[in-house]
Amino acid sequence: MQMESDLRGAWERGELSLDYQPIYQLADGHIVGAEALLRWKHPEHGMIPPSVFIDVAEQSGLIDLLGRAVIARACEDAARWVGADDDEEAPFIAVNVSARQLRSGDLPEVVAAALADSGLPPGRLHVELTETTILGDEIQAGALLARLRGTGVRVWLDDFGTGFSGLSHLRRVPVDGVKIDRSFVTDVLRDPDDLALTSAIIAMAHSLGITVVAEGVESEGQHDILRERGCDLAQGFWLARPMSAEAMRQLCRAGL
């Protein structure tokens, strides 16, 4: 497959990079973290979205090497977001991890190595997993996540609310937070059902001691209603677009 052979070595050739999208605390508007988003600038075909090439990387097994490189780079970049590397209060970095990366079993070791090499405090690394990633094998996933959290890293459930059994996962799978899927946020002002579901997710998460992030916030109205409903954190184009590591560093330096 052409894309697979093009993807092989793409990281080493410098075609892949990480953008960072700030995540804000709704109560005070401060930046508390950022999500790392992988970008591929193909020499002939231009930008190829991760929704296209992550699947190829998964199926070919390239995701193992690529995933390691992403985690290492994200930790290195985040370690530079403040003067003192050991500042636990500095913005966290959230890295997306796919099913195969989790199933390969050595994620806790990969994470520990990236933290040791970068000097980033474990609490400043968050791992984002989707419900489908843990679906089907909650016992094994639960054990892995427990090991991962044992290193001090935080675990988030991404795209939360889109699966059928999102709520029941929270009983068996230890997580620190959930990211309410963009599809709920999009219609939160227009569709009373989406507002009701969003509010229910927030209430339920809080009763379990879990943090809630809303993703895909594209307007002031969405932002305001989420804050009013007690959502903890938010991310979206209205707040900030994904940006380069250097732009993110400067935003942090500027005092948020």
Residues making contact with ligand G (CB under 6 A): 21, 36-38, 49-51, 54, 70, 96-98, 158-159, 182, 215-218, 235-237, 242
The pair of structure tokens assigned to 151 is 């290193």
Q: Are 16 and 241 in contact (CB under 8 A)?
A: no
Is residue 96 a contact residue for Mn ion (CB under 5 A)? yes
Q: Are 147 and 108 in contact (CB under 8 A)?
A: yes
Is residue 128 a contact residue for Mn ion (CB under 5 A)? yes
Which is nearest to 162 in space by CA: 189, 133, 182, 138?
A: 182
For ligand G, the closer CB: 34 or 36: 36
Taking CB under 5 A as the criterion, the residue among 6, 35, 77, 159 binding Na ion is 159
Is residue 158 a contact residue for Mn ion (CB under 5 A)? yes
Least gap, CB of 58 to ligand G (angstroms): 8
Q: Strand locations in 77-223, DSSP E?
A: 92-96, 125-130, 154-160, 177-180, 211-214
For residue 153, the tally of other CB atoms under 10 A from its CB is 24
For Mn ion, the closer CB: 6 or 73: 73
Least gap, CB of 159 to Mn ion (angstroms): 7
Place of tokens 């005092």: 255
Least gap, CB of 162 to Na ion (angstroms): 9
Q: Where on the chain is the footprint of Mn ion (CB under 5 A)?
A: 96, 128, 158
